[in-house]
Amino acid sequence: MCTSPPKWESPTNERTPPGRAPVKPLPLTHRAKKSLGQNFLHDRNVARKIVGELKVGPGDRVLEIGPGPGALTSLLLEAAPARLAVLEMDDNWSRELKRQWPELFVIQADALRFDWRRLRRQAGGPAPEDGPDGEGRGWKLIGNLPYNVASPIMWDAAATCPGLERAVFMIQKEVAQRLAAEPGTKAYGALGVWVQSFVHVRLAFTVPPTVFTPRPKVDSAVVVFTPRPEGENSFPARALDTLLKKCFQNRRKQIQGILRGCWSGDVAAVLERYGLGPASRPETLAPRAFQELANVLADVFEP
Ligand code: SAM
């Protein structure tokens, strides 16, 4: 099994655009809540590098997940996109953000329960650039995500955010490695296959625990998602979701055996199309092969 470490690209080093008034984050007036994964970023240079990766332009719509006291939000306000919305579960920080920056569209909600499709309507209503049906440009997502729930948030957002244009997330380094993992590696699993089926994942840079208050026990990393060209991969998402969960609960088992209980079709023939033998195990299949299997199994998993 190949365990070569992933390659980290060098960070971009963006500076505040000249002429924009600097905006400061809020003071840490509330105790960090462990249950909400609150490790607040206090290093301005790291925050600037993260926001730089989003490449915010004046016509963009941006949604930040988990703004807290606004380390990233303040820099997003400086970048002045057309729309800036934030999704924060903590009522203390939601209130403070609204009070400090009334121009910010604050959604107080749990990102785990958020229906990303609502973004089109919810974050400030239709924009002048929207068509009559409310369809317009997509969204850019950003967040220093709460590490305890980062994977399910990215799972949903990558698949269902309307017209996702770009996403930049700071997450636990080990989760970043899983997102970008290739078949046959130890880190390869359902999360990587799923997210890579919707977006390209780039590992941008790593971040040490010393830049957070309080300090987490693990290293962090920043990942960048960019959309795959439309129509590049066509597959039934629900079937892929079910298939991945079945397969990676049994990653060392042969795919034939895993599917025998739910499908009477010719798994070997599908695998052969991808040059894979009948004894293939989930950890060796590329995302494209899983998508093909999902197409074949759509009727079984999405009756
Ligand atoms: N963006 C800030 C920063 O960089 O310092 C805070 C990042 S902190 C790691 C995670 C933030 O996500 C916190 O503000 C926390 O309250 C919020 N959060 C935690 N769980 C959440 C959830 N399920 N939905 C929305 N926000 C959540």
Does residue 221 contact residue 25 with C-beta atoms inside 8 Å?
Answer: no
Burial class of 290 by CB neighbour count within 10 A (0 to 12, 13 to 18, 19+): buried
Whether residues 185 and 267 fall in one domain: no
Report yes or no on 23 lying in a domain.
no
Nearest CA to ligand 1 atom 8: 38
Q: 268: pLDDT confidence band, cut at 50, 70 and 90?
A: confident
Whether residues 49 and 105 fall in one domain: yes
- Amino acid of residue 153: I
Over residues 47-56, the mean pLDDT reads 98
Question: Ligand 1 mean position to 143 CA, how many Å?
Answer: 8
Whether residues 129 and 246 fall in one domain: no
11 C-beta closer than 6 A to ligand 1 = no
Reference 216, options 171, 279, 268, 164; nearest CA is 171
Least confident of 52-66, 68-82, 231-245: 231-245
25 C-beta closer than 6 A to ligand 1 = no
Does residue 254 contact residue 279 with C-beta atoms inside 8 Å?
Answer: yes
Q: How far apart are the first and last CA of the chain?
A: 37
Per-residue pLDDT reduced to its tens digit, 99-152 = 999 999 999 999 999 988 877 755 555 555 554 444 557 899 999 999 999 999
Whether residues 274 and 191 fall in one domain: no
Of ligand 1's atoms, which has the minimum distance to the CA of residue 110? 24
39 C-beta closer than 6 A to ligand 1 = yes
Q: Is the pLDDT of residue 187 over 80?
A: yes
Residue with the larger pLDDT of the pair 97 and 296 = 97
Whether residues 84 and 168 fall in one domain: yes
Nearest CA to ligand 1 atom 12: 66
Nearest CA to ligand 1 atom 18: 66
Q: Please, which residues bridge with residue 108 across strands?
A: 88
Over residues 2-30, the mean pLDDT reads 62
79 in helix, strand or coil? helix
Q: How many domains does the chain have?
A: 2
Burial class of 42 by CB neighbour count within 10 A (0 to 12, 13 to 18, 19+): middle
38 C-beta closer than 6 A to ligand 1 = yes
What whole-number distance in Å separates Cα of residue 64 and Cα of residue 104? 11
Whether residues 95 and 166 fall in one domain: yes
Least confident of 92-96, 124-128, 217-221, 282-286: 124-128
Rg (alpha carbons) of the chain, rounded to whole number: 21
What whole-number distance in Å separates Cα of residue 292 and Cα of residue 100? 50
Q: Which residues constitute the domain of residue 210?
A: 34-233
Of ligand 1's atoms, which has the minimum distance to the CA of residue 64? 1
Residue with the larger pLDDT of the pair 291 and 119 = 291
Q: Which of 233, 262, 277 is the last residue of a domain?
A: 233
Answer whether the bond into residue 5 is a cis peptide, omega within 30°: no
pTM: 0.89
Report yes or no on 47 lying in a domain.
yes
What whole-number distance in Å separates Cα of residue 218 and Cα of residue 216? 6
Nearest CA to ligand 1 atom 6: 68
Choose which residue among 26, 31, 36, 39 to substitute to test ligand 1 binding: the one with the highest number of ligand atoms within 8 A of its C-beta.
36
Q: Which of 233, 268, 287 is the last residue of a domain?
A: 233
Report yes or no on 14 lying in a domain.
no
Of ligand 1's atoms, which has the minimum distance to the CA of residue 33? 16
Whether residues 93 and 190 fall in one domain: yes
The pLDDT value recorded for residue 264 is 80
Question: Ligand 1 mean position to 124 CA, how many Å?
Answer: 21
Whether residues 148 and 273 fall in one domain: no
Does residue 164 contact residue 225 with C-beta atoms inside 8 Å?
Answer: yes
What whole-number distance in Å separates Cα of residue 251 and Cα of residue 23? 48
